[in-house]
Amino acid sequence: MSAAQTTTTMRLALRDGQGGDYLVPVAELTALAVAMLERTGVPAADAAIVANGLISADARGMNSHGILRLPVYIKRLQQGGFSPVSRFDIVRETPGTALIDGGNGLGAVLTTRAMELAIAKARQTGVAAVGVRNSNHNGEGAPYALQAVRAGMVGIATTNGSPIMPVWGGKTPLTGPLPITFGVPADQERPIVLDAALGMSSRGKILYYAEKGLELPPGWLVDADGAPTTDPNWVRNGGWILPIGGHKGWGLILMCEILTGILTGGAFGRDLTNLYDDLDTGQGNGHFVIALNIAAFIDLPSFKARIDGYIREMKQSELAPGVKEILMPGEIEFRREAEQRANGILLSRSVVDELLASAKGLGIVVASQA
């Protein structure tokens, strides 16, 4: 805390949840996260984007990309690894494309603005793509695809990350289990949102398992020698995450790396810095978003009605043995989000403790009622 900052007291009501975890009100958690980011010099509007993205991930059950990331964001903002002010410098531009230099800004802010620009361009050109370089960790991909969905478009988003897995057949880490997200609007039904890391899991989710003391499902991770393991701590100690679908999944990861790192002229492979290492150094992440204007192909109400019909047809399928319900991509997350926004977000005690300690270091005293 700088000398100019005064101590602030904020409230965070904590209720006992399942498994010894806390239930935390969304509004209070959001206010705390925004206040913490503002204390490091992040503008209020940008702080809201980052906070809402992290808390949305928790609400959707994607805790690996949720508020547990905020303390390391704060450290990076304090030590220079993240710039609190996210520049959005247009390096190249055509009617349907743009290349952005993010000036080491906040990944969530830069990707949000990139999708806003892609949507605006797609209204004129039908399809638009925006690449971002010189950025940092941007959290869960779903919020960016949902920006396009709310605009009546199909949204696609991907990003690169620090090298924690080798190329197929190798042992030298050169890439990561990169994510790709698609969002498709519907009418009466929920949107279809496919938000998938192209590894068997993400590093964040495996770290979440480690933090909870849980074993991994078989087939997610190998140790430093390439032998299968269910111990999540190997992700920190030279092990690596396996790609989905073997060599096919690795090929998809390669395409994401090309779009986000090579096409943008930005960092890729071993030039990228891990979120939790070298906190005074920018990560160099690249992002790539596409907005596809449905109205350029078919009128939007008709498209949405067709999607509704297709969803209902799929849900009426005869069920395979042991299956209770056909679920669309993103449906579980939408249901969980509605429940947690109403009843409180489930957070582990260790995540809450680290969050409160980080807040205290910024001069924010949290009056929690457990």
The pLDDT tens digits of the residues spanning 293-316 come to 999 999 999 999 999 999 999 999
Least confident range from 26-40, 50-64, 199-213, 243-257: namely: 199-213
State yes or no: pLDDT of 2 exceeds 70: no
The pLDDT tens digits of the residues spanning 225-240 come to 889 999 999 988 989 8
Percent of the chain's residues with pLDDT above 90: 83
Residue-level pLDDT at 171: 83
Binned at pLDDT 50, 70 and 90, residue 4 comes out as low
> How is residue 25 written in tokens?
């009100």
Whole-Å CA distances, 14 to 10, 29, 211, 223, 362: 13, 10, 20, 38, 21
Best-predicted range by mean pLDDT (7-11, 155-159, 164-168): 155-159
State yes or no: pLDDT of 73 exceeds 90: yes
The pLDDT tens digits of the residues spanning 96-149 come to 999 999 999 999 999 999 999 999 999 999 999 999 999 999 999 999 999 999
Binned at pLDDT 50, 70 and 90, residue 370 comes out as low
Q: Return the number of other C-beta atoms located less than 10 Å from residue 9's C-beta.
A: 8
Rounded CA separation 281/313 (Å): 50
Binned at pLDDT 50, 70 and 90, residue 3 comes out as very low
Binned at pLDDT 50, 70 and 90, residue 276 comes out as very high
Binned at pLDDT 50, 70 and 90, residue 202 comes out as confident
- pTM more than 0.85: yes
Residue-level pLDDT at 123: 98
